[in-house]
Structure 1
Amino acid sequence: MNQPAKPAFDPMDVPARIGSSYPSQFQDGCEQREKRQLGDFGGLVNFGVNLTTVPPGQGSALRHWHTMQDEFVFIVTGELTLITDAGEQILTPGMCAAFPKNKPDAHCLVNRTNAPASYLEIGDRTPGDQVAYPGLDLRVDWVDGDHQFQKKDGTPY
């Protein structure tokens, strides 16, 4: 990904990654999600910033929580339903949500409307992070800046 010559850039100049990197059996519901890695494009190394667009009927991710990484989302357009262990909340433009590290309250965003919705997703890049997916035989270990999908017993996918 080429970094822009100047610090300011149009997010639409950042190539979109469609779908998720989940193993094939976990793709359903996120396969049309669009993510633009703004932080990487801008040359950031300590934290990531993504502009994520969720089409109608799709989700941001599988419900998950991180052991070492804080996450923050800010709704830019549309309406998304935040699902956590505490229940559901409707998020609209200007609203935000914070997910502190090592708090086992799994979260995801789902678009239950008829229009696309987008949000900024901000997270740090703490080495050694693990991601838990309650109710699924899935976990992620971050090793050398890359994620490795495994079953809960450590068997790779």
Structure 2
Amino acid sequence: MTSSDKAPIAVKAEAVAPRTKPSSYPEPFFSRMARREKRALGDLFGLRNFGVNLTRLEPGGESSLLHRHSRQDEFIYILEGEPTLVTDRGEVPLRPGMCAGFPAQGIAHQLVNRTGRTVTYLEIGDRTPGDEGSYPADDLRAALGPDGKWVYSHKDGRPY
């Protein structure tokens, strides 16, 4: 059943088609996301103020590059598997039922799957305009464009 604007009222999250492109990162970073699959649940319902993704990491997969946001907050909730939360303050092993939050301008973070099992988690983040991403371990900067898409450059400002 759908509402008048054609957005569904409720769905089984696993039935939502995964994104066709695994990442918007430029190479050499794009290929690092090959073991990540995202299902954009929030977009399906027309949510504009925050995004919700059902994300899977296959063994060896990464959620993202180690990063932090200038304006956006993020939250994760582990559904299955045992990822490692990597931060610029150390590492924390996670298990199903655990969660973590990352305020804007806080610690740099990423999830990695160092196990032989798939990891599944929910990620939730706001969509504050003017956000920028910084990547302490990589030569990358990101700025959220007016169209809601990320624009990437080297740390010295050269575009990718």
Q: Cα distance, 1:28 vs. partner?
A: 4.0
TM-score w.r.t. the length of structure 1 is 0.92
The share of aligned pairs that are identical, in percent, is: 53
1:57 matches 2:60 = yes
8 Å contact kept, 1:65–1:107: yes
Name the residue aligned to 2:35.
Answer: 32
After the TM superposition, list the runs of 4 or more consecutive aligned residues in structure 1 that deviate by more than 6 angstroms: none
For residues 14-57 of structure 1, what are the alpha-carbon distances to aligned partners after superposition, in whole Å with 9 as ceiling and x for unaligned? 22125222112113432120000000011111100000000001
Aligned to 1:76: 79
Contact 1:4 1:41 in 2 (8 A): no
Pick closer, same or farther for the CA change 1:4–1:113 going to 2, 3 Å: farther
Instruction: Pick one of 16, 19, 23 that aligns with 2:26.
Output: 23
Q: Is the 8 A contact 1:150 1:156 kept in 2?
A: yes
1:108-123, aligned counterparts within 5 Å?
108-123=110-125
Match of 1:90 in 2: 93
Look up the SS of the partner of 2:28 in the other structure.
Answer: helix
Length-normalised TM-score, structure 2: 0.91
- Counterpart-to-counterpart distance in 1, 2:6 and 2:116: 34
Choose which of 45, 50, 65 in structure 2 pairs with 1:47.
Answer: 50
**Residues 70, 5 of structure 1: CA spacing in aligned structure 2 closer, same or farther, 3 A cutoff?**
closer
* C-alpha displacement of 1:110: 0.5
Pairs aligned (count): 155
- Unaligned segments of structure 1, at least 5 residues: none
Structure 2, unmatched stretches of 5+, are none
Shift of 1:5: 4.8
**Partner residue in 2 for 1:132:** 134
Distance 1:46 1:70 in 2: 12
Contact 2:69 2:133 survives alignment (8 Å):
yes
Indicate conservation of the 8 Å contact 2:25/2:152, yes or no: yes
**C-alpha separation between the residues in 1 aligned to 2:70 and 2:94?**
24
The CA distance in 2 between the partners of 1:69 and 1:13, in whole Å, is: 28
